[in-house]
Amino acid sequence: MSKSAIESAIIQGLAPLSLEIRDRSRAHATHEGADEGGHYECYIVSAAFEGLPPLARHRMVYELVKEVPNIHALSLRTLTPAEAASQPPKRVIHSS
């Protein structure tokens, strides 16, 4: 449920051009505190990030998901459309 709630909050708040959310909770199952919530990685491309440094971008995302329950860790990669276009093609890694 948290993954879909994160997705919904980000879509509603940032209208991203690209959004990928990975639930990495299984990889952290044996870590201390892991049963407190999920571990997520987010890749977000949004025009809302234009002119903002990375810390301000991350704060925007954290503000959007602050009410989403069961988030223990949230790793963010936040890009503007221009930054995403200048990156090499994103490698798709399939994980179960």
Tens-level pLDDT at each residue, the chain (96 residues): 688 999 999 999 999 999 999 988 876 555 555 455 688 999 999 999 999 999 999 999 999 999 998 888 899 999 999 999 998 776 655 554
What does the pLDDT look like over 57-69, one tens digit per residue? 999 999 999 999 8
pLDDT tens, position by position, 16-26: 999 999 988 87
Does the reported pTM lie above 0.85? no
Q: CA–CA distance from 38 to each of 45, 66, 84 (Å)? A: 22, 14, 27
Transcribe 32-95 into DSSP letters: TTGGG-EEEEEEEE-GGGTT--HHHHHHHHHHHHTT-SSEEEEEEEEE-HHHHHHSPPPPP---
Number of residues written out for the chain: 96
Dist CA 95 CA 83 (whole Å): 26
Domains of the chain: 2-86 (3.30.300.90)
**What's the DSSP call for residue 18?**
E
- The packing angle between helices 2-14 and 54-65, to 10°, is 120
